[in-house]
Each structure stands twice: as C-alpha cells, then as structure tokens.
Amino acid sequence: MTPKQLTTRPGDMGPARSRSRIAEKSLEVAELAVIEDGTAINECVGLCGLSGIAAADAICVAATGERSSGTDHAGAAELLSGVDSTMGKQLRNVVALKPGSHDGDALLAARDRDSALMSAPMLVLEARARTG
C-alpha cells in the first residue's frame, strides 16, 4: 500500500504565531458557550475543532516549516503526529467531532463538548509554547 501524500504549504514563525493566536481566540470563544446546552454544544465543539486545527498548524510550522493545507483534517492530524504523537491524538479527537458539530443534523452531547474542551486547550498550550 502506498502511503497517502499529505498536502502541505510552507510557513515561518510569523504565520505560526498568527495561527497560534487564532487558536487561542477560537478556544476563548468556545469557552463562552460552555454554560449552555443544546445548540451551544455544537458551536462549542466546532470552535474547539477550529482551535485545534489552528494550533496544529502553528505547532507544525514551528517544528518543520510547513503545515497541512488539505481539506482533510485527518491529514493535519497525521502531519502533527509526525511532530508530536500526543498532540496528534488530541487533534484526532477534536476533528472527529467537528463534522457533527457543523454539518450534522443532530445535537451533540455534553460528553462531546467535554472531550473537545479537554483536547483543544492542550493543543493551544503546545502551540503557545512552540511559538512564544
């Protein structure tokens, strides 16, 4: 079986810092929705997904000078796993929930929100540590 080709784009520390700040802001807004249930859970989880993706971009650019540029977020998790396997697992967790939050027609459960709110902050903290 041929390994899947990951689509990437180059970057330097300027874009890495920008993606880190975007990750932080997305997480900050997600945390505002934590006090509500219902549709707010979907929004919170979706924002955690966006936060995790931005944080992964920052981590990867800081470590390798490139980030994922494909539409498949699993590819971003694979790229991140090559840099840090623990962070790759955290990204897989939040991106697995993201389609249901934005594209699904069902409301997610509080456990989904709790899971996303455990993974996204870990990714944001790692991005901050790597980008200053």
pLDDT digits (tens, 9 = 90+) for 41-97: 999 999 999 999 999 999 999 999 999 997 888 889 999 999 999 999 999 999 999
For the segment 27-40, the average pLDDT, to the nearest whole number, is 95
Query: How many domains, in total, are found in the chain?
Result: 1
* 3 within domain boundaries: no
* 4 within domain boundaries: no
* 84 within domain boundaries: yes
Print the domain residue range for 127: 10-131
pLDDT band per the 50, 70, 90 thresholds, residue 2: very low
* 17 within domain boundaries: yes
Higher pLDDT, 128 or 101: 128
Q: How many CA atoms lie within 13 A of 43 on its CB side?
A: 13
For the segment 20-34, the average pLDDT, to the nearest whole number, is 97
Q: Is pLDDT at 21 greater than 60 in this prediction? A: yes
* 122 within domain boundaries: yes
CATH of the domain at 70: 1.20.120.330
Higher pLDDT, 98 or 57: 57
d(CA 108, CA 76): 23
pLDDT band per the 50, 70, 90 thresholds, residue 4: low
Alpha helices per DSSP H over 84-132: 85-102, 110-131
* The model's pTM: 0.93
* 5 within domain boundaries: no
Sign of the CA dihedral with 51 first, then 62, 89, and 105 last: positive
pLDDT of residue 15: 95
pLDDT band per the 50, 70, 90 thresholds, residue 1: very low
